[in-house]
Amino acid sequence: MIETAIVTISDSAAEGLREDASGPAVRRRIEGLGWRVLSCAIVPDDADLISAKLRDLADVDHAPVVLTTGGTGVALRDVTPEATRAVVDREIPGLGEVMRSEGRRATPFAALSRGVAGSRGATLIVNLPGSPKGAVESLESIANLIPHIVDLLHGKTRHSEDQVTRDNGRTSI
């Protein structure tokens, strides 16, 4: 079972000026996948506070997956990607590429998302967009990859037959 922490990045939600809609939307989808939500938090658009929260979730709570929602756009206060890059050991650029590519099917604005993904130790950290629809669609686009990534980050590097796909007679992983 995949265990996940959710962090909403939003000044207005952190100040109580608006209700967080994206965090609960992501939570519903995670639970729909049969995964477990370990915790949910709201953090303002402050790079230091975001980085500190991500470090705590990875290093103290040992959350296998941390999903952030919000702060991935081009507005001046959108600093989630920079805060994430400051804490990850290695980026996984393919996840952001998949999310933006799939998102373009629904809206041309998906190209404006700067969300990144990477690992810190054995924790996968993924930035999702701030809109509930964009966050859930982005999660959907990579959900099938997350269990394999978690396995790899936890040292399970042997590939089973169900992880191997056959494409035009060629085997790929």
Q: Which whole number is the average pLDDT over 5-15? A: 97
Answer for the pair 132, 93: CB distance below 8 angstroms, yes or no.
no
Spell out where 76-122 has E strands. 90-91, 117-120
Please tell me the chain's helix, strand, coil percentages from 3-state DSSP, rounded to the nearest 5: 40, 20, 35
Q: Which whole number is the average pLDDT over 43-50? A: 98
Rounded CA gap, 108 and 9, in Å?
A: 23
The values of phi and psi at residue 157, to 5°, are: -100, -5
Query: 115: alpha, beta or left, given left = phi > 0 and alpha = psi -120 to 50?
Result: beta
Rounded CA gap, 24 and 103, in Å?
A: 20
Q: Tell whether the model's pLDDT for residue 167 goes beyond 50.
A: no
Rounded CA gap, 135 and 46, in Å?
A: 20
Q: Tell whether the model's pLDDT for residue 21 goes beyond 90.
A: yes
- Positive or negative, the CA dihedral 157, 95, 77, 40 is negative
Q: Which whole number is the average pLDDT over 84-102? A: 98
Percent of the chain with pLDDT over 90: 90
More confident residue, 81 or 173: 81
Q: Strand, helix or coil at 33? A: coil
* pTM recorded for the entire structure: 0.91
**pLDDT for residue 153:** 98
Percent of the chain with pLDDT over 70: 91
Answer for the pair 31, 37: CB distance below 8 angstroms, yes or no.
yes
Query: 5: alpha, beta or left, given left = phi > 0 and alpha = psi -120 to 50?
Result: beta
Structural domains of the chain in order of their starting residue, each with its CATH number? 3-172 (3.40.980.10)
Q: Tell whether the model's pLDDT for residue 141 goes beyond 90.
A: yes
